[in-house]
Amino acid sequence: MKQEHLLKAFSCQDKSKTICFEGAEFYSEYNIYIFNFKVEISDENLKGLTVEQYIDDTMGPIYGLINPKAAEFYGIDPIMREIIDEREHPASNIILGMTTNYKNDSYVSYIRVAEKDTLSLLSKIELSKDKPADLLINKCEKIKKSLGSLTEKQLEEYCKFNLI
């Protein structure tokens, strides 16, 4: 799924934008669908925040505009859902990934819905040149490598990233 409407609306060709949509990727092994955004920030954008605070403050609202479960969490309308192609994957399964550049540093982050008894969001931010998908699946991959094989409970805990 190319998500052409979103690519057009948040084009990375438009250099006047701080945030742009790089594309969507589906990882079949993990059954995850990640929307990757790129963010370029300067001191002017931070307005007294740390880079991590800025990323956290930016990531949540964008996620709420795309994913209806995240919108429910934030109490907002998922208005960008109208331009999302949901033929293969529902918007409620989308994970948002961000690569943020600040000066010479690169940060990678993700935010996803985690719903067991209550609706919650899980996010992670790291100073790294990895992709958001790598940050998300690293723990699972490390555990698989060290243990060889995982029990159903371990797979559930470390390697399942969609709604529960």
Higher model confidence: residue 56 or residue 151? 56
User: Residue 56: CB partners within 8 Å, gap ≥ 6?
Assistant: 123, 125
- Looking at the chain, list the stretches that DSSP marks H as alpha helix, in order from N- to C-terminal side: 4-9, 43-46, 51-66, 68-74, 132-147, 152-159
Higher model confidence: residue 164 or residue 124? 124
In this predicted structure, the answer to whether residue 163 has a pLDDT above a threshold of 60 is: no
Type and span of the H or E element at 33: strand 32-41
Query: Position of tokens 């555990």?
Result: 143
Euclidean distance between CA atoms 51 and 33, whole angstroms: 26
What is the phi/psi pair of residue 42, to 5°? Answer: -130, 175
Euclidean distance between CA atoms 47 and 151, whole angstroms: 47
> Helix (H, G, I), strand (E, B), or coil: what is residue 154?
helix
> What order of strands is seen across the sheet that includes strand 19-27?
19-27, 32-41, 94-102, 105-115, 119-127
Higher model confidence: residue 159 or residue 74? 74
pLDDT value of residue 37: 96
Q: What is the pLDDT of residues 26-54, one digit of tens each?
A: 988 888 899 999 999 999 999 999 999 99
Give me the mean pLDDT over the 86-111 stretch.
95
In this predicted structure, the answer to whether residue 15 has a pLDDT above a threshold of 70 is: yes
Note the pTM of the prediction, 2 decimals: 0.89
What is the phi/psi pair of residue 143, to 5°? Answer: -70, -40
